[in-house]
Chains A and B, each alone.
Chain A
Amino acid sequence: MSHAWAQAFSMVFDPYNIFVMLAASLFGLFVGAVPGLTATMATALLVPVTFFMAPIPAIAAIVTATAMAIFSGDIPGCLMRMPGTPASAAYTDEAYAMTKKGQAETALGAGLVFSALGGLFGTAVLMLAAPALAEFALKFSSFEYFWLVLLGLTCAVFITSDRPLKGFVSLLLGLLVACVGLGNPAAFPRFTFGSTELLGGIGMIPMMIGMFAISEIMRYAVDTNPELMIVDQPIGNVFKGMWALAKKYPVQILRGNAVGTLIGALPGAGADIAAWITYAISKRFSKEPEKFGTGHVEGIVESGSANNSALAGAWIPALVFGIPGDSITAIVIGVLYMKNMNPGPMLFTNNPQNIYAVYLLFIVANLIMLPLGWWCIKVSKQILKVPRTVLMPVIMLFCVVGSFAINNTAFDVTVMLVAGVAAFFLEANGFPVAPAILGVVLGGMLEENLVTSMIKADGDFSAFFARPIAATLGVLTLAVWLLPLLLRRLRQLAGFAEPA
């Protein structure tokens, strides 16, 4: 074990890896700080570049860039009343109200310090929970995996959407996309219509780039809102008063971290939903709820740490079961397969040094966030002045080249474009995209375990409930289907208004 740790240390503190982490930090801080560019988009844009790296630097780039982006998304929220990433949307108004009161540095400082703290908390849970779950998962058969995947998909439908029906449609469409090609238990070419390019299935990475980057650029293109103004206010020492805040709100910090990690670990729900729910919880249990919305730091402390802890939490099911906890890890799973680090419990027994390296990457990323984030806040006004009219076309060309680079085929550029247009129209009509992504990523696994289980069961459906863990997971899955009313109540609490 100590040998594996030593190997992990040497991989993480390798000069090339440190260089990658620094470069990814700058990239992540920039992407997060520019409104309209998200952490998931940062991940999708990184994949074509990580494609050419060794496994650990590739993962390092993604871990660092996403952690930074989720923090720096707070900056434009605070200075322009425009969240840099959806994960900051929950408390953008609050942060902006603080800026108006002349407390921009406290809002930004709380975002930075408690983001790093949240990330470290999530990492600690990842380090404790993942190996324990992996040991448990070694005993899983196809029945357990079938229920687990189904439970994950079910969660995605009910949590990520206030309209489960549309979430379910989205999920089914994703599962359908996963059916394309030869990759099914019978190895029969389905829905290929004679195309050789479709035999291998629809490329996951070009599709993700389309869904997360191209659709975002299309939304920018049709945005009729005028450009927002930056609040010009000197920003002093952002670390001032943070210790006092930590002493004042220990319960909020702990609760935000714990709830954030948990929501991150639930499939389909990531940092943005974690922030909405923890902000609502913070307000609900606050001693001074009337101050929320008027520039009160309490909610920012709690939800600002929750969105970063959710990032690490999402890696728990991704590493142990290959079930992504959020849309970022959905892309990460694709990268892990490309790097021959197939997720699953065997990853923990066969190559523990890689897992330890992932833990270390998270710790390092969240620690270097403090100085780099401080610097980013200093130069944020320059970053926010970068003209998006130039940036968006450049990013789109980058997406095109990146999609092409995965397999060196123009067909993947078509996949990217179609996925982007589809995601744009689906979202414009209230169909959430996250369940579709999960459907695509998990479709193969769901079918494989379903078919294997059905062959084993030989027509006897009770076999799906014959083993204790399978039965528990099965009952849990069915229960989630029956609990939408309760979840709807929770979402109302979280401030998600059902659009008319």
Chain B
Amino acid sequence: MKVNDAVWGALLMLLAAALLVHIQSFPTIPGQKIGPALFPGTIAVGLAVCAVMLIFKGVSRHRAGGPHAAWIEADTWVRSPRQLLAFVAVIAVNVFYILAVDWLGFIPVAVIYLSLLFAVFRVRPTWIVPLALVVTLVIHYAFYKLLKVPLPWGLLKAVAW
């Protein structure tokens, strides 16, 4: 997704404004001009200056017309169902992992995670589940047993090994 510089500029301007408002609540150190607001405040001013320049550039490009003049332009992959699905899947499986890993447990979540991605990337169907299972068990062994990372057991707690 290509977003025109002016749109980026407007978003950054909003961010800068929000920052400048937010840092007003930061405490000041008595007898000193320098407090915790100084550094983020300077960043906010810098962002605001860049935002103005980006808006200026983006608007002039939009007026000039030609390629990349649109405010928002979809990349070629957005129009390709396969790539779009892959993109959504890459984000979705991670969100699923974050939400589900504690109660489902690492092993079931990882098997689903990998199977979904393999399916989207078009791995041979008969291979998907066995491969996902083997990879999950190898990663689990490496991190849980060898590196002692407490990966959650979740539903499998009763049979934990």
Q: Which residues of A contact B (CB under 8 A)?
A: 48-49, 51-52, 165, 168-169, 172-173, 175-176, 179, 184-186, 188, 190-191, 214, 217-218, 221-224, 387, 389-390, 392-394, 396-398, 400-401, 404-405, 408, 410, 413-414, 416-417, 421, 425, 428-429, 446-447, 450-451, 454-455, 459, 500
B76 near A224 with CB under 8 A, answer: yes
CA distance A500 to B61 in the complex (A): 10
Contact B131 A398 (CB under 8 A): no
Given contacts A168-B50, A169-B50, A222-B86, contact A405 B121 (CB under 8 A): no
How long is the Cα–Cα vector from A270 to B144 in the complex, in angstroms? 35
B47 sits at the interface (CB 8 A): yes
Compute how far the CA of A339 lies from the CA of B22 in the bound complex, rounded to whole angstroms: 36
- Residues of B near A392 (CB, < 8 A) are 117, 121
Contact between B123 and A389, CB atoms less than 8 A apart = yes
Q: How many of B's residues come within 8 Å of A, CB to CB?
A: 64
Q: Is B36 touching A500 in the complex (CB atoms < 8 A)?
A: no
A428 to B66, CA, bound (A): 19
Majority secondary structure, A binding face: helix
A389 neighbours in B (Cβ, 8 Å)? 118, 121-123
CA distance A394 to B26 in the complex (A): 44
Q: Out of A398, A451, A454, which one reaches B139, CB within 8 Å? A: A398
Asked if residues B143 and A390 are in contact (CB atoms below 8 Å), the reply is no
| A455 contacts B32, C-beta separation under 8 Å | yes
Q: List 28 A–B pairs whose Cβ atoms lie within 8 Å, in order of A's numbering.
A: A51-B147, A52-B148, A165-B53, A169-B50, A169-B54, A186-B35, A188-B35, A191-B22, A221-B87, A389-B122, A393-B121, A396-B90, A397-B136, A401-B143, A401-B149, A405-B147, A408-B149, A410-B101, A410-B102, A413-B98, A416-B94, A417-B91, A417-B98, A428-B75, A429-B1, A429-B2, A446-B39, A455-B32
**In angstroms, how far is the closest chain A Cβ from the Cβ of B113?**
6
> In the complex, what residue of chain A is closest to B152 when comparing beta carbons?
A410
A-facing mask of B1-21, CB < 8 A → 1, else 0? 111000010001000000100
Report yes or no: A428 in contact with B2, Cβ–Cβ below 8 A: yes
CB pair A421 B91 closer than 8 Å: yes
Contacts of A48 in B (CB 8 A): 147
Would you call B1 and A425 a contact (CB within 8 A)?
yes
Q: Is the CB of A500 within 8 A of B68?
A: yes
**When the two chains form their complex, are residues A172 and B43 in contact, meaning their CB atoms are under 8 A apart?**
yes
Q: Classify the interface of chain B: helix, strand, loop or mixed.
A: helix
Q: Give CA–CA (A131, B80) in the complex, Å.
A: 55
Residue of B nearest to A446 (CB): B39
User: In the complex, A428→B75 CA distance in Å?
Assistant: 9
Nearest CB to that of B2 among chain A residues? A429
- Determine if B38 is an interface residue (Cβ-Cβ < 8 Å): yes
Q: Is A188's CB under 8 angstroms from B98's CB?
A: no
Residues of B within 8 A of A (CB): 1-3, 8, 12, 19, 22, 26-27, 29, 32-36, 38-40, 43, 46-47, 50, 53-54, 57, 66-68, 75-77, 80, 83-84, 86-87, 89-91, 93-95, 97-98, 101-102, 110, 113-114, 117-118, 121-123, 131, 135-136, 139, 143, 147-151
Q: How far is B47's CA from A175's CA once the two chains are assembled, in angstroms?
A: 11
Given A188-B27, A224-B80, A394-B135, does the pair A218, B87 have CB atoms closer than 8 Å?
yes
The answer to whether B97 and A400 have CB atoms under 8 Å apart is: yes
Report yes or no: B77 in contact with A224, Cβ–Cβ below 8 A.
yes
Q: Decide: A397 and B135 in contact? CB cutoff 8 A.
A: yes
Using A52-B147, A390-B121, A455-B34 as known contacts, list a sample of 15 further A-B pairs with CB atoms less than 8 Å apart, ordered by residue number in A.
Answer: A48-B147, A168-B46, A168-B50, A184-B39, A190-B26, A222-B87, A392-B121, A397-B114, A398-B139, A401-B143, A404-B149, A405-B143, A405-B147, A408-B149, A413-B94
A52 and B122 CA atoms in complex are apart in Å by 36
**What is the minimal beta-carbon distance from A359 to any residue of chain B, in angstroms?**
29
Across the interface, do A450 and B39 meet the contact criterion of CB distance under 8 Å? Answer: yes
**By the criterion CB–CB under 8 Å, are A224 and B43 in contact?**
no
Among B1, B36, B46, B93: residue with most chain A CB under 10 A: B36
A405 touching B149, Cβ below 8 Å: yes
B75 and A221: CB pair below 8 A? no
Contact assessment for A393 and B114 in the assembled complex, using a CB-CB cutoff below 8 Å: yes
What are the residues of chain A within 8 A of B102 when measuring CB–CB? 410
- Contact partner of A410 (CB less than 8 A), chosen from B36, B98, B147, B148, is B98
Complex contact A179–B91 (CB within 8 A): no
Complex Cα distance, B27 from A175, in Å, reads: 20
**Is A172 in contact with B50, judged by CB distance below 8 angstroms?**
yes
A190 engages B83 (CB within 8 Å): no
> When chains A and B are docked, how far (Å) is the Cα of A49 from the Cα of B139?
12
Q: Is the CB of B40 within 8 A of A169?
A: no
